[in-house]
Amino acid sequence: MTTWNLGGCERLVLLCNGDTCTTRGSDEITVALRRALAAAGLDPVVHTARTRCLGRCDDGCTVVVQPDNIWYREVTADLARRIVREHLEANQPVTSHVSFTPGVQGLQQMSGTRPGVEKPRGATE
Ligand code: FES
C-alpha cells in the first residue's frame, strides 16, 4: 500500500474498473494511461485512481478527469494515450469521446452519448 504526498497535484483521473469496463479492457487502459503519464513527466501533477462502476456502463470504458469534470466514453488504450497527450499535457480535451462536460446547469451531455436512465429527484422514502 502507498500513501502518496499529493501536494502540488493538479488533476485526478478516475479509471473505471467496474465489471463492464473490466470486460472491455480497463486494465490495459489503466496501464497505458499510467505509462503515458510517466513518459510525459506528469506523475507529480496528475494522480490516478481506479474506481468501481462510475455509473455509465454503456459508455465503457469510462474515464473522468477532475477537477475539469470531463467524462470520456469508449476509452481504449490508444485513446488513453491521446487523453494524456492532448488533454493533460496540452489542455485540449479529446472532444470526439467526451460524453459529459460542465455546462450552465451541471453536466451537459454531448452528442453521440447515450442518454441513460433519469436519476431520481428529491427525497426518497
Ligand atoms: S463498469 Fe464502468 S461505468 Fe459501469
Closest atom of ligand 1 to 54 CA is: 3
- Compute and round to an integer the Cα radius of gyration of the chain: 15
Residue 114 forms part of a structural domain = no
Residue 120 forms part of a structural domain = no
Task: Give the separation between CA 67 and CA 10, rounded to whole angstroms.
Answer: 8
Number of domains, the chain: 1
pLDDT of residue 123: 73
Confidence (pTM): 0.94
Ligand 1 centre to CA of 115 (Å) is 15
Q: Hey, how many other C-beta atoms are within 10 angstroms of the C-beta on 22? A: 18
Ligand 1 centre to CA of 46 (Å) is 22
For residue 41, give the C-alpha cell. Answer: 513527466
Q: How many CA atoms lie within 13 A of 120 on its CB side?
A: 4
Q: Which of 14, 15, 21 to mutate to test the pocket of ligand 1 (most atoms within 8 A of CB)?
A: 21
Residue 44 sits in which domain range?
11-103
Residue 3 forms part of a structural domain = no
Residue 59 forms part of a structural domain = yes
DSSP per residue over 40-58, as a string?
TT-TTTEEEEEES--S-GG
pLDDT of residue 27: 97
CATH number for the domain spanning 24: value is 3.40.30.10
pLDDT tens for the 125 residues of the chain, in order? 889 999 999 999 999 999 999 999 999 999 999 999 999 999 999 999 999 999 999 999 999 999 999 999 999 999 999 999 999 999 999 999 999 999 999 999 999 999 999 988 887 66
